[in-house]
Amino acid sequence: MENVILVIHVLAAAAVIGLVLLQHGKGADMGAAFGSGASGSLFGVSGSSNLLSKLTSIFITVFFATSLTLAFISSHKAGSSSVVKSAPVVPAAAKQVAPAPAAQPAENTPKDIPN
């Protein structure tokens, strides 16, 4: 069941991306007024905006619903655990820390620095 919802989720995401890219912005009507040629499109001047807007809202609703469903399924899956809970616990006494090397003075440092 989870795989079916995941496939629907991916298809809805691709549909939303495609529909958003197909829609033209608010300034596109101004270009059509000056002879751009966008007025002779497949849907007409205003027909595409209504249809594409409705389809976009439908696919966004499907995407949102599948997102919530997948989150619910993954949180209630048997045997699911957190990454933090499954990390191995190392006691503090078992950690080996290497001692820092002793600082030694540099041998080639000049004693008198001319001004």
| 30-66 pLDDT, tens digit each | 655 565 555 555 555 555 568 888 999 999 999 999 9
Confidence of residue 88 (pLDDT cuts 50, 70, 90): confident
pLDDT of residue 19: 92
pLDDT of residue 111: 64
Confidence of residue 16 (pLDDT cuts 50, 70, 90): very high
- SS3 letters across the chain: CHHHHHHHHHHHHHHHHHHHHHCCCCCHHHHHHCCCCHHHCCCCCCHHHHHHHHHHHHHHHHHHHHHHHHHHHHHCCCCCCCHHHHCCCCCHHHCCCCCCCCCCCCCCCCCCCCC
pLDDT of residue 37: 52
| 68-86 pLDDT, tens digit each | 999 999 888 866 566 666 6
